[in-house]
Each structure stands twice: as structure tokens, then as C-alpha cells.
Amino acid sequence: VTTTELEQKVASLHRLERNLLKVLSEGSSKPLADAAKQAGIELDQARRAAGWLSSKGLVTQIAKEEKYYSLEPEGYKAAEIGLPEVRLARELKKNNENKEISVKDVSSSLGLKDEEVNVALGRAKRAGWVETFSRNGLLFLRRTDKEVDSAEQNLLEKLAKEPIEKSSLTEKESRTLSELKKRPRLISERLRRAVALRLTHEGSVALEKIPKEAGADKITVEMLREPSGSFPKLRPIDVTSPSPKLFPGKKHFVQAFVEEVREIFVSLGFEEVEGPIVQPTFWNFDALFIPQNHPAREMQDTFYLKSVKARNFAPAEVIDRIAQVHERGGNTGSKGWGYEWKIEEAERVVLRTHTTAVTVRYLADRRPEEAKIFTVGKVFRNEKVTFKSLVEFFQIEGIVVGRDVTVRDMMGILTKFYSKLGLSKVKFWPTFFPYTEPSFQSMVFYEPLNKWIELCGMGIFRPEVTLPLGVSNPVLAWGGGLERLIMLRYGIKDIRELYRNDLAWLRSVNLCQ
Ligand code: PHE
């Protein structure tokens, strides 16, 4: 640490830190409680100041177990009414005329028990407060001139006010205490954690550098009213000093990511649409030219809702046109799939398997000539949960409708989207979907794994999809999982981690990257 660094450190000390530092001296440690008292600050404040000073390397905090003493109930009683020998002597001295009294009388007027009387008598005699003699076979007490001043009684009274630590007893007091401890049921001895402070070497150098006049801790209204020029010096604040960790409530990072994705699409000029999670298979499959015997529609892949049928999910002429497209291609120029399309199959209800159900329904409802829309939401697939697949996950989906839109536009939009998420190496690979032609898969290069990762499917909706809905312009469409993107961002290797909700881990996720 250089001198100027140390000077800065000293200048930025808080009033509490300065006060505490000033009562410490090099080479010896001091109990925190004593230091607080000497510095004239509350124990709580001293504790905080000690924490700051130790994080700055100026003080070491030594924690140790310390014995401390307080009183048992009997002890409190004795502190109040006096130890038996004291009571005996006081009783005798209270009465000026009567210089002598029989032991029997005094003990019955004080209510002392026989065994107490003998001990008390012995003590009072040894202290020189009383003398004994016998007359007519009876034991008598005579008072002396010695003042009744009992160290044990004094210590008891002190302990009745507050517990005392062993280390803060004087030598004489600790001798008295061991006497008191010999008497049953008076003193309680316990251990507690005590902190002592010790100056570090740097701390003792700092101590010498504490300026006489410290800068002000805060700006007050009065200061601001002063004519400029006489504005007091302010204490510099060390913005690098450590601060306590806080864990306020925050959004789950999956939700935060969903919002970030929304933000990006909106910034690219897209509008968000929403659609139900429960869909007739008509929108989830049929409208997308997925034949009714397609393997993806099987129960092993899709969650069906038992004994529920969809009604009035589309205008009769749309249903009719889609039936024809499936059977022989309708008037789309396609040959269709060549099977008998059944409305009963289209009425079945599923948990949507992709968000494409939402965008295709949007096309049917609006028949737009131009559109840029997106949707984000949960989808469901009857799959085994593994490190890379979940049963319930998020998809991001989008479409662009326009007279002149091309595959190139779509690649451009997705490249832009990924780059806004910090993924810059993107490529597109041909693939197949029943509802798009041509069809692609977008892949991004993920440096940490040195691997290309598939992110979303895309293509131009086939005429078999768009024409029956009354849409004649080309429609660019894409959709893909969201959790994979989150995994890339946080370097998570197992998708299940995202929903384990381990509190320690959730707390450690930064709000900002
Ligand atoms: N629906 C496809 C999936 O779930 C993705 C896709 C959307 C493909 C739109 C083409 C067009 O993987």
C-alpha cells in the first residue's frame, strides 16, 4: 500500500471508524465492548465500524470465548438485603444504645437459619465488625468501631447491575469473586463469544494520519444555503470498498430472457400475438398440411385431452378447403395426400406441440397482405425428459407476410435476431417440414463447446397452407425452442437445470450480463 493510497483510505474513514480506531493502540487487543464504551459509541455501531475497518485491513477482529459472571436468583436477593454476615453486623450497629445482643435474639429477628448463623458469625468476627463473649451460658455479640464494608457485598451489588466479563475484573475483584463462588447458588459463570480488536500494522500507520478535522459525512440543507466558497470539505467516499450482498426479489432468469426476446422482436418491427395453449388438432396439425396419419400426431408424441371435442374453431368454408387440400390438393396445384380427411380427427384437442398453431390461426383470422408478427409461449411434447429435452418448454415463433419477401429476408432477420443475443456465427441448412417449402434449419456456432447447434426451423409456408386460408402473398415462418438459447447464454449443459430452481444458483445469476 502506497502512502497516498493509505492517506486516501484514512481520509475516507467514517466518523465511527475514526472514533473506534483512536481508542486502539498497537500491540494489544481490546474487547469490542470496552472499545465501544471508550469511543462513546453504541455497541452495534462499534460492531459495524469494526467490520468496515477489518475489511479495509486496518484492524483484525479476534473472536474468542469469554467467561462472564452474573447472579443466580439467590445472588440477587443477597445483593438486595445483604449477605448474612453483613446483615448481622448492620443489625448490631443500627442500634446505638444497645451495644450487646444475644446471638439467639439477633438471628431470630433476622430470620437466619442455624447453619447460616455460625458461618455469618465467623465471617463478621474475622472482618472485625463484631466480638463475641458468653454470659450465663449464652453467646453474646458486641459491636466494634470498625465500619461494615464488605468487598463481597460490593461485588454482588455491582453484578446485580450488569454481568461482568472475566477480563474486565480487577485483580482484587477476581479474588473476591473466587470467594463468592465458594458459596452455593450466588454466582453464575457462563461462556460467550467475545470479539477483541487489534490494530494491524497498516492500522497503526493510519492512526497517525487521521486528520484533525475530518470532512463532513453528509451534505445538509444548511450547507447548501451557505454562500459558495465556504462550503465545507466532504469526506471522500471509497466506492471500491466491499458492500454487503443483497438478494432482493428478481425475475426468474427464464422469464427475464423471454422479455429480452420480446424486446428484440419489437425492436425489429414485429408485433406480438398470443394464442391458447389448448388447440384443436385442426390448427395444430391439419391447417399446416400435416396428414391425419402423420407419426407426429400419435399419442406417444402428443398430449391429447380426453373426451373433449373442439367446436366452431373455423369457418365452414375454411374447413372444407383444408379437407380438399389434404385429399386431392384442392385448387392449390398440389396433388394432396390422397386419403379421406375426417372432421372427427380435426376436432380432437391437444396441448399445442408448437407455436406455429398460433401464427397459422392468425393468418386465417386476418388474411393479411402484409404482416410482421411473433409469439412466445409454452409448448408440450410427450417426450422423455433428458439433458436436452423437456416435456414442457418455450418456443419463439414468427412470420413475415409480404408481396416480395424471400428466403434471404428471413435469413437476414434471424441473423439479426441472433446477433442481438450475442451469437454471431449463423448458418442455414436445408431440411424438411410438411408445411414449408423450401425448409431450413438455423444453426449457430457455440464457441465453448466448439459445436454447431440447431436452433430453429423455418421456411416459406406452402400454398397448401396459405391458399385455403385466403392468404395469397408469400409467408416466411420460423419457430424454435427458447431454452436452448438460455443454455448457450449461461453455459448450462443440462436443460433440466433451468427449472431446478436451486435458490443459491438463482441468486448467483446476474441480472445484467
Ligand atoms: N414448428 C417447427 C418446430 O416446432 C418449427 C417451424 C416453424 C418450422 C415454422 C417451419 C416453419 O420445430
| pLDDT one-digit tens code per residue, 133-142 | 999 888 998 8
Find the 330 Cα to ligand 1 centroid distance in Å. 24
What residue ranges of the chain have pLDDT lower than 70? Answer: 1, 96-98, 229, 512-513
Quote the distance between the C-alpha of residue 476 and its chain's center: 44
Distance, CA of 401 to CA of 471 (rounded, Å): 9
Residue among 457, 485, 449 nearest 254 (CA): 485
Instruction: Report the pocket of ligand 1 as residue ranges, CB < 6 Å.
Output: 354, 356, 433, 436, 457-459, 477-479
Mapped onto helix, strand or coil, the DSSP state of residue 27 is coil
Mutation test residue for ligand 1: of 283, 353, 354, the one with most atoms within 8 Å of CB:
354
pTM recorded for the entire structure: 0.61
pLDDT of residue 266: 98
Find the 410 Cα to ligand 1 centroid distance in Å. 13
The DSSP code for 216 is B
pLDDT of residue 229: 65
Please, what sign has the CA dihedral across residues 412, 415, 416, 417?
positive
How do residues 188-226 score in pLDDT, each as one tens digit?
999 988 899 999 999 999 998 888 777 787 888 888 887
Distance, CA of 353 to CA of 337 (rounded, Å): 22
pLDDT of residue 96: 66
Residue among 250, 497, 249, 270 nearest 362 (CA): 270
pLDDT of residue 98: 67
Mutation test residue for ligand 1: of 288, 302, 351, 356, the one with most atoms within 8 Å of CB:
356
The Cβ of residue 197 has, within 10 Å, a number of other Cβ atoms equal to 27
Helix axes 15-22, 32-39, angle to 10 degrees: 110
Distance, CA of 507 to CA of 432 (rounded, Å): 41
pLDDT of residue 436: 97
- Looking only at the bridges linking them, the beta strands covering 451-461 and 475-481 are antiparallel
Find the 346 Cα to ligand 1 centroid distance in Å. 20
Locate the ligand 1 atom nearest the alpha carbon of residue 354 and give its number: 4
Find the 497 Cα to ligand 1 centroid distance in Å. 25
Distance, CA of 281 to CA of 301 (rounded, Å): 13
Q: Whose CA is nearest to atom 4 of ligand 1?
A: 354
Distance, CA of 272 to CA of 375 (rounded, Å): 5
The DSSP code for 234 is B
The Cβ of residue 408 has, within 10 Å, a number of other Cβ atoms equal to 9
Please, what sign has the CA dihedral across residues 124, 125, 128, 131?
positive
187 neighbors 179 (Cβ within 8 angstroms): no
C-alpha angle 139/126/123, rounded to 5°? Answer: 70
Alpha helices in 329-387, H assignment, sequence order: 343-346, 356-366
pLDDT of residue 341: 97
pLDDT of residue 97: 66
The Cβ of residue 199 has, within 10 Å, a number of other Cβ atoms equal to 22
pLDDT of residue 248: 85
Find the 122 Cα to ligand 1 centroid distance in Å. 102
Mapped onto helix, strand or coil, the DSSP state of residue 148 is coil
Find the 354 Cα to ligand 1 centroid distance in Å. 7
E strand or H helix at 440, and its extent?
A: strand 436-446
The number of C-alpha atoms within 13 Å of 251 and in the hemisphere containing its C-beta is: 10
